Amino acid sequence: MNSMLILFIILSLAAVLSALGLLLSRSAVYAALFLVLNFACVAIFYLLLGAPFIALTQITVYAGAIMVLFLFVIMLLGAEKLPKSQSLPWQRPLAIGLAVVLLFEAGFLLFQRLHLTATLAQPEAQINSVDAIRTLGLTLFNQYLLPFEITSILLLVAMVGAIVLTKQEKGAAG
């Protein structure tokens, strides 16, 4: 048992516990903070895998920008306390059923792959080099240029949509 494995086990526990906390917390602010903790755990997983760029991007984008906006909206709307009762009665059994199916699937794949560990690529060797960011950029802008541009257009459309929806028309009341 090496130190990396111990780290991994502690981190996984933290990740699972924070995810549970997110689900079970009745206060929206605490739920959001649990989610931030979960994102941080995922970022450290990336670090363990030897991908510091992705780890720090994860923290900047998810924990630093998106979750801050979530908190902002929760506080602005004053929606901190969630109602005690469930609004959709059929939601809980359906969710449990789907979760069981997902767990079964994941476990099946895991046990099937146990014999194939040798074929899994070692990502560390490629990513951990000095020119990791250069490699990432070249791959992104050569091999995946079209998906990248499509994503950026999607984001632009979303932004324009938000601006149009919130823009007050001249002369319109309210």
Partner 1 sequence: MDFTLILEWIIKGFVLTLILLGGFAYLTLYERRALARIQARIGPNRAGPFGILQPIADAVKLIFKEELTPALADKLLFLLAPVLTVVPAVVITAVVPWGKQSFSLFGRDITPYIADINVGVLYIMSIASIAVYGIVLAGWSSNNKYAMMGGLRSTAQMISYELTLGLSFVGAILLAGSMRMLDIVEAQKTMWFVVLQPIGTGIFLIATLAEVNRAPFDMPEAEQELTAGYHTEYSGMKFALLFMAEYTKMIAISAIGATLFFGGYREFWFLSNTVFSIDHTPWLGPVYIFIKIVILLFGMIWVRATYPRIRYDRLMAFGWKLLLPMSLALVFITAVGIILAEQVNKNLIWGIPVLSILVGLFAVGMIDRVLRRKDNARL
In the complex, the residues that contact partner 1 under the rule CB under 8 A are 3, 29, 33, 36, 52-53, 56-57, 59-60, 63-65, 68-69, 71-72, 75-76, 130, 132-133
Q: Minimum CB separation from partner 1 for residue 158, in Å?
A: 16
- In the bound state with partner 1, the residue whose beta carbon lies nearer, of 106 and 140, is 140
Sign, Cα dihedral of 85, 86, 88, 89: negative
The span from the CA of 71 to the CA of 78, in Å, is 10
Backbone φ and ψ of 119, nearest 5°: -80, -15
- In the bound state with partner 1, the residue whose beta carbon lies nearer, of 14 and 33, is 33
- In the bound state with partner 1, the residue whose beta carbon lies nearer, of 116 and 165, is 165
Q: Minimum CB separation from partner 1 for residue 53, in Å?
A: 5
Cβ contacts of 67 within 8 Å, gap of 6 or more: 32, 35, 36, 39
Q: Minimum CB separation from partner 1 for residue 13, in Å?
A: 21
Q: Minimum CB separation from partner 1 for residue 117, in Å?
A: 24
- In the bound state with partner 1, the residue whose beta carbon lies nearer, of 89 and 171, is 171
**Which pair of structure tokens corresponds to residue 147?**
């998906």
Facing residues of 82 across strands? none
The span from the CA of 165 to the CA of 159, in Å, is 10
